[in-house]
Structure 1
Amino acid sequence: MKIVSWNVRGLGSVSRKAAVKELLFKYRPDVAGFQETKTKNWDPVQLRYICGGGVSLDSFEFVSSIGNSGGLLTCWDSSNFKCSQTLKDKYFSVVLGNWVGVDGTVGLVNIYGPNSVSDRKDLWTKLLAVLSNEEIKWCIFGDFNEVRSVDERLNSCCNQGGMDDFNRFIEDGGLVEIPLIGRRFTRISDDGIKFSKLDRFLSNQSFVSSWKLLGVRALERKGSDHMPLMLSEDLKDFGPKPFKFFNAWLSEDSLEAIVRESWNCEVRSSDPDRVLRDKFKQAKVKIKAWSVEHFGALENKIVGARNECNNLEAKAEQSGWSDREREKWLESRKRWLDLEEKKSGILRQKAKLKWLLEGDENSKFFHTTIKFREKKNAMRGLEVNGEWVEDPERLKLHVFNFFKNKFSRDLEEKPSFNSSKTKKISRDDAIFLEAPFDEAEVWNAIRDCGSSKSPGPDGFSFGFVKKFWEVLKEDFMKALRWFWEKEALGPGCNASFVSLIPKVATPLSLNDYRPISLIGVLYKVIAKVLAHRLKKVIGKVISDPQSAFIKGRNILDGVLIANEVVDFVRFKKRKGLIFKVDFEKAYDSVDWNFLLGTMNRMGFGKKWIGWISACLRSSSTSVLVNGSPSKEFMMEKGLRQGDPLAPFLFLIVAENLHLLVEEAKDKSLFEGLSIGNEGIEVSHLQYADDAIFFVKWSLRNLRNLIKILDCFHAISGLKINMRKSKIYGVGVQEAEVEDWARGVGCVGGALPFSYLGLPVGAVMSRKSYWRPVIEKVKSRLVSWKARMISFGGRLTLVKSVLDGGSFWGRIIRSIYGDEGGLGLRESEIRGGGCSVWKNIVRVGGLLDGMGLEFSNSFRKIVGDGSETRFWKDRWLGDRPLEVDFPRISRLEVNSGVSILDRGEWVEDTWEWKWSWSRVPRGRALGELENLVSRLNGWNPIRNKKDVWGWDFDLANGFSVQKLREILAESSVTGVGGRGTMWAPFVPKKVNVFIWRLNLGRIPTRETLDKMGIDLHTVLCPRCGESIEDLDHALFKCSEVNRLWMRVGNWWNKPLSGIHSVAQLIQEDGQPSLSDGSNNLLKLMYCGWRYFDCEGVDLAAVSTPTRSRRVFAAPLFLLSSPNDLSFCCSTEIGGYSRVRSAAVRGVLVSFDEFLIASTRGLLTQIRSVFLFVDNLLNAVVGCVCLVFGWENVCSIGFGSFCFVVLLGVVSVVWIVVVFGDSLSLLYLGLC
C-alpha cells in the first residue's frame, strides 16, 4: 500500500507535470493526492500524461482552484481501490471506497488548509462532521497549513490559537499522526531561512490496524517548496525474533509438567550459575514446542469454535437438539471462551498497560495499543555518514558498531581523585551488605519484579518465576550462594538486550534513541537483592544536594529550592547565574574503575566491591533492531539503564562532582549564591544526571566551574555536552548572558526554564506556564483510547494519569514536611502562615453544610501539654474553653498559650498559674471559679507528646475509610436521600451507571433534547406512549414494567408498582451500594442496556429468549461459583442469530450482570433460611416450566431435570447436616 501526497504549487506548467510524472513513475503509488494545483480544470488526458510509463492511476476526483490559489487532485488505481462515493469542498475532497484485501470502507481525505486561522477553524469543524462515522477507516493527508507545536517551526512564528484548534480537531476526531521518517520539516521557504512541518498524514485507529506497520517518508523535493510525502507499509525482514514467554500460558495446567520435565533433565555445566542458565535454555526449547500446540494459530481456532457454536445454535432453533448435541455445543462454547481468554491475555501483556485492570478483555483496544507502540518504536532507517539507510543488514551492522564503540573502555588512564570530605558507611553497614543471601530475601526481590515486564535474552517473565518458584528455588539459591562465595558470574549469566526507545518524534540518528536494557531473570534477581541492601545505607554517603532514589528525598526538592533561589535573588535585586548542565550519555560513560575506587574510599567491603565488579565485568549485550537482536558484545564501561543497581551506582559516581565543588569552594575558586537572612550558600543541585549550578555573577566563577566539570570528566568519564548546556541570568540583561555563553561555548537562555519537567523562575499564576503540564496529560488521555474502552476503563485511565502525575500528598509533604501534620509550628498555623492548609481544612465546611459536624470532630489528646493551646483547642469537653468561658478568656494575656505554659510541676503536683490583663471580677470571677472546678484533678502526663484525636474513632484516629462509612450512614443525600458507595464486587460499569444515575446523567431522550441534541421525537421508541425520561425508561414503559413484574415475582417483591428511582431504593431498603444484596440497583443497569437502542427491532429477540434469560436468575442463586459458566452457557446461549448487533451486545451485558450478581449473592448465603428461600424460588420456576407459561418451556428439558435434581440433593443435604435442628428450622421458616 502506497499513498503519495504533495503540495505541488501549481500543475499547469510542463516542468511541474514532468516532476509529478517522474515521482509517480519512481514510486508507483496506489493513491496520489496533490494540493495547490492552481488549475480550474482537469481531465483524463492530463491524468494519462502524468501517469505515463506504466503508472496505473486511472481514476480521479478534482477540486477547482479559486483564482490562482488552492485546487486539489486525488487519483487512484481502481484495481486496488474501488471508489463508491465522493464528496467535495473548496478545501478538501473525500473519496470513499473499498481497498482490495481490507475489510470495511476506507475514506481518503485530501486537504489544503486555508491561510486564515478562522477559516482553518471552520475547516476543522466541517471535517469533524465528515469523520463522525467511526466505522470508516479514515486517512487524512495533505497540506494542513498548520503546525502542532513550536518544535514544528524554525525561524518563524507560531499562532497558539491556531495550534490549539488543530490539536483539538485531531483529538476530537480520534485521529493520530503517522510518524515522519528521516526529516523534521516538510516545507522550506524560498530564501532557505524558515522551516515548517505543514504536511502530514493523519488516520484513525481502524485504518492503522488494517496494515502491519505504516510509516511516512519525505521524498526528494523538485520545484515546489514542499516535500512530497509517501505513506507505505514497511515489511522489511530484520531477522528472527527471540523467544518470549507470555503469562497467559500459565493458565494451562499442562505447562507445569513441561517445566518439571525440562528442569529435571541433566545439564553438562557444573557451576550452579551455568546450570541455571542451561536449564532455562532447556525449558525454552520445550515450552516453545508446547506453546505451538496449545497457543498456535489462535485466531483460526477461535473462528472454528465460534462457527461450530453458531451452526449448532442454528440447528437447534430450527428443529431443537438432542442431549448429545447440546453437550457438544457446551464443549464448543467453553473451548471458544477459553481461546478468547488466551488471546486476550497475550494481547494484554503485549500492550504493556500498567493502568489497565487485569481481566479486561477489550481485544480491539489491545490490538490498537500494540499497533501504535510498534509504529512509535519502529526503526525505519538511520542517517549514516550523510546517507539515509533502510536496509536491515546495514542498519543492524551500524547499530552494532555504534554501541560496541560506545561501551568500549577508553585507552588512556584516568587520574585518581581523593577527598577528605568523602562520607563513609559504618562497619556495621559493611557487614550488613555482605551477609549471606537467604531465601526470604531472594523471594522478596523476585516479588518486587513486575510479572509482565519485557524479558531479557532468556525470554522468561517474572510471572513464570513466581508461578514455578517451588520448582526453580533450589537452583536459584545454589546460583546465588555460588555468586556470594566466588564473586563471579559465568558467560551468558548476565546477558541483556538493549531496546531503543525514540526520544524525539522523528529520530534521525542513534543519538535520538534512549537505550534501555532488558536483563535476564538470574542477574536481575541478584541485582535486586543487592539493590535492596544498598538502598538502606546509601543515604549515609550521598550528600544533600543529590535528591534522587534516596528514601526521604523527593524529585520536587530540587525544583522548589531552585525557585526559592531565583525568587530571593530577584527580591534582593542581586545578580546571579544558573548553569544547567547536560551530560553526554551519562549512564553509558561511567568508568568502572573509578566507580569501584569511589566505593572503596566510602568504606564498602572487599566482598561487596567484588560483587559489584562481577556484575559489571560479566555483562554482555546485543541491540534489538525492530525486535531482532544484533551480534553480542561485551561491555567495558557504562551502567545499563534497566539494571536495578544502576541508579544507586550512578549516585556514588555523581557524589564526586559534589566533592569537587566543595573542594573548589574551600579554596575560594568558586562561589555559589547566598540566600536568606542567614546567608545559606546554594551552589548546586543534582538529580541523577540532571544538575544545575548557582553561580555568583562573575566571569571568573563561571570559568572555574567549567574547569571543575572538565576535571570531573577526566576522572569519571562523564563528559559535559556544552552545545546543549545553558546558562541563565537572574537580574541580568539577556545580551550579557549571551556574550558570556558564547565565551565559554554553551547556549544562553532566558527565564523561565524547565528543570525536571517543571518550570523554574516562572510566575505560575500565568496560564501559559501550565501548558506543558496540560499537554503532557492530554498526550496520555488521547481520544482514540477513550473511544475504544468503556466508561469504567476511561475512569481507570484518568485515575492512573492523575495518580502518576500529581501525588498530591507527596507534594504537600515535600513542601511542608511530615512532622506536625504539615510540618508547621503552631505559631505559623495561628498566624495564618500556610494558605495551603487553609484551603485543605476549608473542605470540612462543605461536610458541615451537609449536616455532618466534621470540622468540630477533632480534639487534642493531651500528653505533656506543650502542643495544645489552653483556650483555643478542644481538649477538655466538647468545646474549646474560650467558648465555655468567654469572659475570663478575654482577660488572658496570651490567648494562644499552651497548657504546659499555663502551669508547672511542683515535685509531683501540677499547679495552674494564671496571667490576667486585669484582676477578674464580677461574672468573669464566677467563670474562673467554674473553670478551676472543671480543672480540678486533671494533670498533664510527663514525657508524652500531645496528639490529635478524632471523635468518630478515638482509638485509631482519622481514616478516609471510616469517614466513608460515616457518610454512608449519615444524612448526606444521594439518590432518594440515601448515600451510595461503589461496590468492589460488581462490574465497574454497573458502579458507573449508578453513579451517573445518581447525578441524573443518563442519556434519555428527554435529557438529550434538553442538551440541544436534535431528535426526531422525544417519545419512548419502545412503547411510543410517553416522553422518555429517566423514570419512564426504567419503570413506566410497558416493556420494562413487564420485566420488573417477573423479577418481582421471583424475588417475592411487588416491584410492578414502582414508578421512580427513589421509590425503588426505598422499597429495596438498602442505604449503600456496597451491600452485596442490593441487586435491584444493579438490575436497573441491565434494564437500561436491555432497552437502550433507538429503532431496535425487539422482535429480533424472541419471547422464549427473553423469558429464559430472565428465568435464569433463580437458577444462578443455586449454582456454585465454579458452575457459573455452565449455567450461563446452558440457559442464556444462542445470541448469534439475533439480527441486531446492538441487541446482541445488550444480551451479553445481561449475562455479565447475572454472573456478577450471582457471585455477590453466593458470598452472602450464610444460613439455611436463604438457601431454602432460593430453593423455593427455583421450584416456582419449575412450575412455570411445567405449565409452559411465557414459553419458558423452551429452556429445555435438561434444565428442568437439573433443577429437580438440585432440589432433591439440597433437601437431603439439609436433613443430613441439621438432623436434630430440623424443628428449629421449621420454626424459623414460619
Structure 2
Amino acid sequence: MPAIELGNEKSHSKISPHSSKAISESESLSYPPGFGPIQIMDQDTHKNVETMGYSLSCKSKEEQQKTLRTQKINRSSNGSKLEDGPAQIRKEGATDLRLASGDSERRCMYEQEEETHSTQPFWEGLASEDEILQSRTERLARKLRKKGKKIKRKTIIVAKELQCKQRIQKKPTSQRENEQSKQDLVNKATVDMRKKRSERQVAEEMRAIRQRLGLVEENDTEETIRRLMEMERRDRINIAQQELKKKTDGEEKGKRKLWEELLCLIKEYGGGCWCMGGDFNTVRGTDERKGRSYDATEAREFNKFIVEAGLEDIPMAGRKYTWYKSDGSAMSRDLKQWNKEIYGNIDKNIEAAREVIKTIDEKGETTDLTELEVEQRKEGSHHLWEWLKAKDSLLCQKSRQKWIKEGDANSKFFHGCVIKKRRQNGIDGLTINGEWIEDAGAVKHFIKEFFRRKFEEEQWNRPGLELNNLRRLSIEENAMLIATFSEEEIREAVMEARALLLANRMRCVMKSIINPNQSAFIEGRQIVDGIITTNELIHETKKRRRPTLIFKADFEKAYDSVNWEFLDVMLDKLGFCLLWRTWIQECLASASVSILVNGSPTEEFQMTKGLRQGDPLAPFLFLVVAEALNGLINKAVEEGLLEAATVGSGVVQISHLQFTDDTLIFCKASPDNAWAIKCIFRSFELISGLKVNFFKSSLSGIHVNDEDLSAMADMLNCMVGTIPFKYLGVPVGANSRKVSTWSPIVECLRKRLSSWRCETLSFGGRIILLNAVLSSIPVYYFSTLKGPKKVINLLSLIQRRFLWGGCEKKNKIAWVGWDHVCRTKNEGGLGVKNLGTFNLALLGKWRWRLLEEKEALWRRVVEAKYKVNRKNVWLGDKWDAECSGWWKDIWQLDVGLRGREGWFRKGVKKVVGEGNDTLFWYDRWLGEYPLKDKFNRLFRLSMKKDAIISDMGEWRNGEWCWHWSWRRNLFAWENALLQELKVMLQVRQLQQGQTDHWVWQHDSKRKYSVKSAYKILQDNLIPGKICNFKLIWNKW
C-alpha cells in the first residue's frame, strides 16, 4: 500500500491514505519556509509514485473545501485514489486532513483565526525589514511635521533600534499566531519524535553528529553504539527511579497512591520472591486496632493491594498489639534501673580497672607474670578502654544538651569533642553480597576492592578525536618546558616535589592554549568573570526578547573519571612534546592509593584513571581534558549544529562558559539545539570518561514557554531550571537591587552568630571574630554586585550588635559611633571594615581591569554590548537607560560620592613608553587631567582627535619631534596655549623600546589593590585623626 509522507527535508512522518480521489498537480503549489511537499510512496517498491502539494494558505472554509474537491491526482500504479470524504473541515478556521488506514488515523491540523479570509499564503505577505524601517521612519516624520518640529537623525535611530520589535507588532494577529503555531507544531513534533525513539535509534542518530564533531571510530562502531545505548538506558532508568521517588515522597503521599506505585514497581521488576516490610500505618481489620476509629475503606484498599501484589501476611507472635498507650514513663524507669545495675558508677569502674592494671604492673617489675596474670592485665586494659569510651559518650551527651539549651557551641571542649568523635567514627560492618559481615579484614578488603574498581579504567578502546580548532604550543614554549633545570629549581624540587616543579612550568603556558571561555587556574582570569558574563548575557536576552536556552551541566566525579590515555592524546594535540608527556605519565602512574578504614589503612593499589585532588598538577591536567569539550562545542557552532547566543549586534558569540567542571551552555531555543547539547556531552563521555549526570543538570529558558521548555528538558532527561539560579555560589539573573537577592548573606551572618555567645567572649575576642569572619562573609558577593543601602545597613546593624554584646532581639548601647569604630587603629578606631566603602573598593577592581585586560571575554562582552572603546573608557555620570544594574554601578563608581568625587580617575595614570597604546588627547598621561579637558580649544581645532601619541610625531636622530595638524591657522591666544602645551610636553620624554601601561598611584607596586582603594575612600570620608587608640579603647 502506498504511504503519504508529510514533512520537510529533515524529517518525515508517513501516513497511509484511506482512499483515492485525485488532486491535480497542475495547480500552483506554495509551501511555507521549512515545509516540503507531500510525497506518495509505494511501500512495496519504496519508490516515489506521484508528488502532490497542498497550498497551506489562509483560506476560508468554503475555499478550502472547493480546493480539496477540484485538485486530483490520477494514480497509474494501482489505481487507488485519494477521496475527499475523510478530508474535511472540522471547525471554522481550521483545516483537518484525516487519512485513515484500517483503524489508525493520523491528523495534521493547522490552526488559523476565524476572521482570516485571505487566499494569499501568510509568509508571502510579510514586509521586509527595509520596508518596515522605511514605513516607521515616514510615520514618525509625518507626526513631527504635524507638530511643527524638525526631523532629526534620532528618528532614524529609533526606527532602527525598534525594527525587530515593530516587525512582530505590525504583523496581523492571525498571521503571527499562525506562524508561531506552525513553529510550535514543528518543535513539538521534533521533541515527541526523539522521545519515542528506542535506545538504538538514539545512538544511531548521534553517529552523524559525532562524525561532524571530529570523532574518529576505527572498527569500533558497534561497540560505540552499544556504549551509547547503555548511557541512554542508564539515564532513562535514573529518571524513572527519581520520578517514582518524587511521586512517592512528594505531595501525593496518600496510601492509595503508594499502593499504586508499589504495584507498578512489582509489575515492572517482577519475578522471583518478594518480601515487603515496614510500618504501613494501616490495619486489615477491626481486630487489629483498639481505641481508635476504624476506616473500612482504608482497610479494604490495603487488603486489595495485598491480593493484587500476591503477598502473604505473616502471622504475629507474642503480644496482640505492638503499641498500646505508651508514653515512655515506664520505659524511663526501666532504663534507670538498667543503668544502675549494669553500668553502675562509671568513675568507680575506671578507677577499679586502673588499680588492677597498676597492681599487675608493679608485680611484673619484680617477678615474671603467669599466663593468668597476663590475661587479667589484657582484660583489665580492655575494660578500662570500654569504660573510658562510655564516659566520653556520657559527657558528650550532657554537653550537647547544654549547648542546645544555652546556644554555646564555640568552646574548646566542643571542638575537642567534635575532633574526637570524628576520629572515633568507624565502620562496624557492611552488607557484602547480601550478607552482613563484621569481620574487620573482610570489611577492609571489600572497601579496598570497591575503590580499586572506582579508579580502574573500564573502557580502553575509546573513539579518537580530530579537532583542528585547538590552540597549540609554540616551539619556544616547548623548549622552555623541557629546558635544563636550574639550581634554584632543583633545590625547590628536593625541598618540595617534582609535581610542583612541573606545575610551576606548566602554569606559564596554559594561557596560550586554553580557551577564554575557561576561567579557572589561568593567570589573569578570575572566578567572577563567568558570573558577570552570564549576568550580562541574561540581561541582553531579556531586553532583546531572544528565546534562549541555558543548560547547566553537572559532572559526576570529574577528577576521578579522567582517562589517562585521552589525557595523553590531548597533550599531544595541544602541542606538548613527547618528553613532557612522558614526565606527566610517570607522575600519574607513580600514584598508589590506600583506603583508611576505621583508622587502619588497607593494602595499596595502583590507579589506572583519575587525577589526585591536592596534586599541584591536577588542576592544569584537568583543564587540558576540559579543553576537548571546548573544542567540541566550538566545532558544533562552526558546523551549524549549535546556534550560540550572541551579545550586541551579533559581534560576540557565547556558546559556553566553564570554571573547571562547572559548565554552562548558551544557545537559541530550539529542539535541534537541545539535541545537539546531548550529543556533545555523550560524545565527550565516550572519548574522555567524564560523565554528565543529566538528572542533576538543569535546562532554563528565557522567553520560552513552559510547555516547550519542559518537553526539551524531557528530551535531555534533565530538570527544568528557573532564572535566577546559582552559578559558582552567586545568583545569576537576579536583581541585585532586591533585598531577597542578598538573603543568603544575611542568613549566613545570623547563623554564624547564633553559635556564638557574646557574654562568654571578651571585647577583644569579638573584634577578632568581627574582622576575621563577619567582615569576610560578604566579600564574594561584594566583588560582583553593589549592595543596596538597606542591605549594607542591615549587615552593619548585625555587626554593631555583636560588637557591643547584643543579639538579634536584644540591643545594647553603642558607646562610640560606628564611623569611628571603622577607622584604622592609627586613627583611633578598631580597624573594622566599613562595608559600604569596602564594597566600592572591590568594585573598583572592575574599572582597573577594564583598562588592563583588553582580550578578556567579559571585556569583549562589555565592549559589544555598551560600545565601550578607548575614548569613552573613562565613562562618566550618564549611562544608557537599558544597561544592566551592574554596569550602572561600575559606570558611576566615583560619581556622586560625598567627599570622594572622582577618586578612581585621580588615582590612575598612564605611563608612556613609545606611545603606541596611549591616546594623545583622551588619556590621562600628562598632568592631572586629559589634554582634551585642559586644552579644549586646541582639541577642537585638531585634525587628529583620535590619534595615539606615536602618530603625533616622529624620531629624528634619537630625538622625538612633534607634528601638529590644525583645521586652520591659530590665533595669537591659541598659539599661546600651544606654547604652554609644548612646555608640558618637554617634561615627559618618550622612551624607545618601552611599552605604555597604566599605574595606580596609591600603591607601592603601582597596581590597583583593594586595600589602597579602601584607605583612600575612608580617608576622604572622615579625614584626620580622632584620638590615640590606647587612650580610647584600653578601658574596654
Structure 1 length-normalised TM = 0.40
Structure 2 length-normalised TM = 0.47
Greater relative CO, 1 or 2 (CA 8 Å, sep 6+): 2
